[in-house]
């Protein structure tokens, strides 16, 4: 980890902030992206002198390109780009609007595409690099119907990740592309969801941002294609897709929830 330059989006809180503190603590330089200037500055200060705060909206392609330029200007190169920024939603499929779907695609899919496309020429020029996209267990299995459009957007992000990995494999084997799948994490994610939601911190068994950050950090040290932040995660997914009747398997996920008023 020492001397690596790592760009992290959504770095002003939650998983992004925890990852920044974790990797900076073992010698990495970090370029931190988020919209909230004060909170981002606090995280950068906690990370020490080898941290760069870049106020940016990752749903804007120009902001992402500007952030990459700033990171290279400060550190000379980038080794790892972590697409972590994302947002949830509390709405069933039957209730979704065009604006709901557009918001989920803009924040959870297009921002990831912008990050990958921005850093890729730099990685190709260096013939090495690592893109890590932070997905969700909901990008594999529809545990929570209330997160319908979020789940769909993470499925799309997973597909883009896998397709880029296959695109690069033959000619650029030293450019790694990884997808990390957390479950529920003790952050403000639920309350900040579009249309409101339950505080993710009250869910029993939720992981801390620091636990998830350590899994991402281990993926930087040892690149893998598909990573689950809990050991049982992959088994759950394999069991679901191997079911003779998915409708029967889905009964275990419970009835649809409604957002709190």
Nearest to 147 by CA among 18, 34, 257: 257
Nearest to 135 by CA among 71, 216, 20, 206: 216
Q: Which two tokens mark 196?
A: 């409101």
What is the SS3 assignment for 225? coil
- Say which residue the tokens 């249309």 belong to: 195
In angstroms, the CA 228 to CA 215 distance is 8
Percent composition of the chain: helix, strand, coil (DSSP 3-state, to 5): 50, 15, 35
- The answer to whether 127 touches 172, Cβ cutoff 8 Å, is yes
In angstroms, the CA 4 to CA 18 distance is 17
Nearest to 158 by CA among 135, 174, 137, 132: 135
Extract the runs of DSSP E, i.e. beta strands, from the chain. Answer: 5-9, 29-34, 51-55, 80-83, 129-134, 175-181, 226-228
Active site residues: 150
In angstroms, the CA 92 to CA 98 distance is 13
């Amino acid at each position: 980890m020492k001397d690596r330059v790592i760009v992290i989006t959504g770095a002003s809180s939650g998983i992004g902030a925890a990852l920044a503190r974790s990797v900076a603590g073992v010698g990495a330089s970090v370029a931190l992206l988020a919209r909230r200037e004060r909170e981002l500055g606090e995280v950068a200060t906690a990370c020490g002198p080898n941290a760069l705060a870049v106020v940016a909206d990752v749903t804007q392609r120009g902001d992402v390109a500007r952030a990459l330029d700033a990171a290279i200007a400060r550190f000379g190169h980038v080794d790892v780009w972590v697409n972590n920024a994302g947002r949830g939603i509390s709405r069933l499929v039957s209730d979704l609007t065009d604006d709901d779907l557009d918001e989920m695609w803009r924040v959870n899919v297009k921002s990831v595409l912008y990050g990958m496309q921005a850093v890729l020429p730099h990685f190709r020029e260096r013939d090495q690099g690592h893109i890590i996209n932070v997905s969700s267990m909901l990008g594999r299995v529809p545990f929570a119907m209330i997160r319908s459009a979020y789940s769909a957007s993470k499925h799309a992000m997973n597909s883009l990740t896998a397709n880029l990995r296959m695109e690069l494999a033959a000619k650029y084997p030293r450019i790694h592309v990884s997808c990390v799948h957390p479950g529920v994490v003790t952050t403000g994610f639920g309350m900040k969801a579009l249309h409101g939601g339950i505080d993710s911190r009250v869910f029993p068994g939720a992981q801390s941002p620091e636990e998830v950050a350590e899994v991402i950090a281990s993926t930087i040290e040892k690149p893998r294609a598909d990573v689950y932040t809990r050991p049982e995660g992959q088994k759950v997914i394999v069991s679901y897709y191997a079911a003779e009747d998915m409708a029967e398997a889905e009964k275990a996920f419970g009835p649809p929830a409604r957002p709190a008023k």
